[in-house]
């Protein structure tokens, strides 16, 4: 009997992994959904069944929409800057003249992404400070005094200030992923493009981009999912304020569960976050499958 063909043995070997996945991934997801149907706090003795009340409340909760909008903003801006600009940066660093300095710039751009988010958050809290902050001081020096602003303290700019910090931190990380992808493109493609008389920009559009499509897709998914899970930056820099203007889904979930003693509502928000990221992942799987088939 050929042991490689024995399905039972194969399943037996898969079993430990399967059990762990079920126990630590699927079971909590289902449990979380069940929790969202009850009114309870982490220290209460009784759970009160409320059915889908929390879902109804969520749909009419203005803060939920603020959070959703902020997450969407986060995703869009991150795609433009991290994926878009990160890709361009990578292409520039791969240019022949730049290659000599590539190691230096690679390190410089990558550095912020290894710093702890808390440290970066506190750092930028100071940078944005209207009294002693670097940013306003700089604006004053170059004569743009009219642009000085209480960046984190006003509702209109606080969210953008946080998102900007995130771009600063992660652009180098995404750039590095693109560098790896670009380096894998066969040199001949560029040579033949050159013979055809293509300039640098044409080479980028017609050779580089089609060749790194897969990476563009993956990095886009990473940033979108990351944008919907964002928590630390907001929590450290503004804790959701001023008012509720920088609340994101994760910080709202945290607040509901651990501050307002509404674990059921927190579980509801968690379910929504799960659904959103799950749908994004499904789209990714579908798109990449189509590509492989094409």
Partner 1 sequence: MKINKLLVLLLSVLLVISLTACQSSQPTGGTDQVEIKFLHKWPQPEYSVYFDEVVEAFMKENPNIKVSVEAVGDEPIKDKLRVLMGTDNQPDVFFSWSGEFAAKFVRSNNALDLTPYLENDPEWKNSIMEAGLEPFTYDGNYYGIPFRINGKFFVYNTEIFNKLGLKKPNTWDEFMTVLETLKQNGITPIGFGNIYPWAACHYITGLNQKFVPQEVRVKDYNPKTGEFTDPGYIKALEYFKSLNDKGYFIEGVNSTEHNMSNQMFYGEQVAIIYVELEEFVEVEENLPGKWDFFKMPDIPEGKGNQNFLTGAPDGFLVSAKTKHPEEAVKFLKYLTNKANADKLVQQLGWPSPIIGAVNEGNSPDYLVRGMKAIEEAEGMALWLDTDIHIKISDVYLPNLQELLNGTKTPEQIMAEVQKVAKEVQSEVE
CB 237 within 8 A of CB 121: yes
* Beta bridge partners of residue 38, listed in sequence order: 49
Q: Is 34 in the site for partner 1 (CB under 8 A)?
A: no
Q: Is 42 in the site for partner 1 (CB under 8 A)?
A: yes
**Which one of the spans 66-74, 200-208, 210-218, 234-242 is the region binding partner 1 (CB under 8 A)?**
234-242
Separation CA 205–CA 84 (nearest Å): 13
- Least distance between partner 1 and beta carbon 37 (Å): 16
Please report, for residues 73, 94, 240, 244, the alpha-carbon distance to residue 154 in angstroms, rounded to integers and kept in the order given. 17, 41, 12, 11
Three-class DSSP category at 50: coil
With respect to partner 1, which residue has the nearer C-beta, 16 or 197? Answer: 16
With respect to partner 1, which residue has the nearer C-beta, 91 or 159? Answer: 159
Helix (H) or strand (E) holding 189: helix 187-195
Nearest in space to 226 (alpha carbons), one of 268, 261, 176, 174:
174
Q: Is 28 in the site for partner 1 (CB under 8 A)?
A: no
Question: Residues 115, 235, 31, CA angle at the centre, nearest 5°?
Answer: 105
Q: Is 53 in the site for partner 1 (CB under 8 A)?
A: no
Q: Is 243 in the site for partner 1 (CB under 8 A)?
A: yes
**x/- map, 120-159, partner 1, by CB under 8 A:** -----x--xxxxx-----------------xxxxxx----
Q: For the chain, how many residues are written?
A: 294
Q: Is 5 in the site for partner 1 (CB under 8 A)?
A: no
**Which one of the spans 93-101, 112-120, 185-193, 259-267 is the region binding partner 1 (CB under 8 A)?**
259-267
Q: Is 112 in the site for partner 1 (CB under 8 A)?
A: no
* Radius of gyration for the chain, computed over Cα atoms and rounded to the nearest angstrom: 24
Contacts of 111 (CB under 8 A, 6+ apart): 172
- Least distance between partner 1 and beta carbon 42 (Å): 4
Under the rule (CB under 8 A), what is the footprint of partner 1?
A: 8, 11-12, 15-16, 19, 23, 39, 41-45, 125, 128-132, 150-155, 238-244, 255, 258-262
């Amino acid at each position: 009997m050929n042991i490689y063909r024995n399905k039972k043995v194969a399943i037996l070997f898969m079993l430990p992994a399967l059990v762990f996945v079920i126990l630590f991934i699927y079971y909590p997801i289902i449990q979380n959904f069940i929790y969202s149907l009850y009114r309870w706090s982490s220290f209460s003795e009784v759970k009160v069944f409320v059915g889908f009340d929390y879902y109804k409340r969520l749909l009419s909760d203005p803060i939920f929409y603020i959070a959703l909008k902020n997450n969407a903003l986060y995703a869009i801006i991150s795609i433009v800057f991290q994926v878009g600009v990160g890709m361009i940066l990578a292409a520039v660093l791969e240019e022949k003249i730049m290659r000599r300095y590539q190691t230096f710039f690679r390190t410089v751009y990558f550095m912020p992404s290894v710093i702890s988010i808390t440290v970066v958050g506190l750092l930028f809290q100071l940078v944005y400070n209207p009294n002693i902050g670097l940013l306003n001081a700089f604006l004053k020096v170059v004569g743009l005094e009219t642009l000085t602003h209480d960046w984190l303290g006003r509702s209109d700019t606080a969210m953008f200030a946080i998102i900007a910090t995130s771009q600063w931190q992660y652009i180098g990380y995404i750039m590095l992923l693109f560098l790896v992808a670009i380096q894998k493109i066969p040199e001949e493609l560029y040579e033949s493009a050159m013979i055809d008389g293509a300039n640098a920009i044409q080479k980028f559009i017609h050779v580089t981009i089609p060749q790194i499509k897969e990476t563009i897709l993956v990095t886009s998914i990473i940033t979108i999912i990351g944008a919907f899970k964002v928590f630390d930056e907001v929590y450290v820099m503004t804790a959701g304020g001023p008012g509720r203007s920088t609340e994101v889904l994760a910080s709202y979930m945290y607040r509901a569960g651990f501050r307002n003693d509404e674990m059921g509502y927190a579980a509801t928000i968690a379910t929504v976050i799960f659904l959103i990221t799950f749908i994004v992942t499904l789209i990714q799987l579908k798109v990449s499958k189509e590509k492989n088939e094409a």
